[in-house]
Amino acid sequence: MSIGFVFRSLVLTICACGMVVSAHAIQTASERASALVAAVQDTGVLEKEVGDIPTVLSMLTAGTRFADRVNVNKPVKESALNVYLLAHNLSDRKNVPEVIFQSKILGNCAFVGVSNAIICDSEFVDRFLIDHGVFNEVPNDSLERAKRDYQYAFLAWVLGHELGHVIAGGPAAHFGQANTLDSEQQAGIELAQGAETAADLFASKKIEADRRLTVALEGMLVALIDQEVAEKNGKSPAYGVGLHWDYANRRVIQYFANQDHPEFVIRATRILTFLASDTHEETLKALMATFTRHLIQVNTERE
């Protein structure tokens, strides 16, 4: 028996085993997603009040195959968009199905990849803007209105983003930021970033049909960029932070490219640039053009 024959046989065996392992992994992911969807249909783990979510979803699904086919915290219908808002403080409760913890859905919002199902942690929905400092620079006399308008705009963004993933028919995808440099090749990261950007732009396109909501989204994203830049570079003593940065003081704002989700400063910038172009807002367009010239990509891992 020749060495070449043995080598070819070994390669074929390894490849065959690899295909079996890959098929098993895919099956397992699908089974876990289905188990998660089954678990969250238990009313004991769901939030009783869903606030503005049905109204936002009605706007977002208009003109799609899910128009008038939205379930919120109800049993799955395979032809509908099935959205689940988890109850607060699940991590502190007993008798919560283990699949919910294993899925890492807590602290996030995600399309899970099966049953047109989007699952959101209510604490993530409630705290995202606060945790990212969006209200830090809002004057007190405008604070209550900003909280109301920006939260509505955030809901439209996150739910529109996940709806974009559902419409695209891709694999499971989440909203929050995650660094997968240790487990993914760069090409995979670039592909994932492309899908995330497409989902953000899908949400933006749906939102821009409502002018008041568009203005609220723009205001919220500008505030988000301000805080992202302040976290990276500190406040400029002359001009504050973010879009009004004193570029003579610090010329660049670094962002990291080695994550499957672009940093929020990049996501917000892309959405604002898209909206400015699509709605012909010349002032915002000029502001974004100036800002983006001072962004620089960094390929090393975040410390």
Helix 53-61 crosses helix 186-207 at what angle (to 10 degrees)?
Answer: 100
Q: Which of 141, 161, 188 is the last residue of a domain?
A: 141
The answer to whether residue 31 sits within a structural domain is: no
SS3 7: helix
The answer to whether residue 171 sits within a structural domain is: no
Q: Tokens 């089954």 — which residue?
A: 38
Q: Is 302 found in the same domain as 185?
A: yes
The answer to whether residue 164 sits within a structural domain is: no
Whether the CB-CB separation of 123 and 105 falls below 8 Å is answered with no
pLDDT, position 117: 97
Model pLDDT for residues 121-168, shown as the tens digit of each residue: 999 999 999 999 999 988 899 999 999 999 999 999 999 999 999 999
Of the listed ranges 75-89, 189-203, 289-303, the one predicted with least confidence: 289-303
Q: Which of 126, 141, 156 is the last residue of a domain?
A: 141
The answer to whether residue 206 sits within a structural domain is: yes
The answer to whether residue 8 sits within a structural domain is: no
- pLDDT-based confidence at residue 293 (cuts at 50, 70, 90): confident
Q: Is 78 found in the same domain as 185?
A: no
Model pLDDT for residues 32-89, shown as the tens digit of each residue: 999 999 999 999 999 999 999 999 999 999 999 999 999 999 999 999 999 999 999 9
Q: Which of 125, 141, 157 is the last residue of a domain?
A: 141
The answer to whether residue 163 sits within a structural domain is: no
- Total number of domains in the chain: 2
Boundaries of domain holding 274: 177-303
Q: What is the pTM of this model?
A: 0.80
Q: How far apart are the two ends of the chain, measured CA to CA in Å?
A: 54
Q: What is the distance, to the nearest Å, from the Cα of residue 31 to the centroid of all Cα atoms in its chain?
A: 23
Whose CA is closest to 59, among 173, 136, 163, 147?
163
For residues 102 and 121, what is the distance between their CA atoms, to the nearest angstrom? 14
For residues 98 and 36, what is the distance between their CA atoms, to the nearest angstrom? 9
